Amino acid sequence: MKLLPNHLADHLTITTIVKSRFEVKRNNNFLTALAKARPSEQNPPTGG
């Protein structure tokens, strides 16, 4: 297996980090939207 040149490997690493951060942000937005759509599941009524 041939190793990539350093600058190319760095670029791939940066791209992966940025992509994963974007995915996390998008997933958080999705979870927030779900929580707003179904607040009863996030905050069950007390004494129920």
- Least Cα distance to 30 among 2, 38, 7, 17 occurs for 38
pLDDT for position 22: 92
Q: Using only the alpha carbons of the chain, give its radius of gyration.
A: 20
pLDDT for position 4: 64
- Least Cα distance to 14 among 26, 2, 6 occurs for 6
pLDDT for position 1: 58
- The pTM for the full model equals 0.47
3-state secondary structure 6-19: HHHHHHHHHHHHHH
User: Tokens representing 5?
Assistant: 């040149």
The pLDDT tens digits for 1-48 are: 577 678 888 888 989 999 999 999 999 999 898 888 876 655 666 665
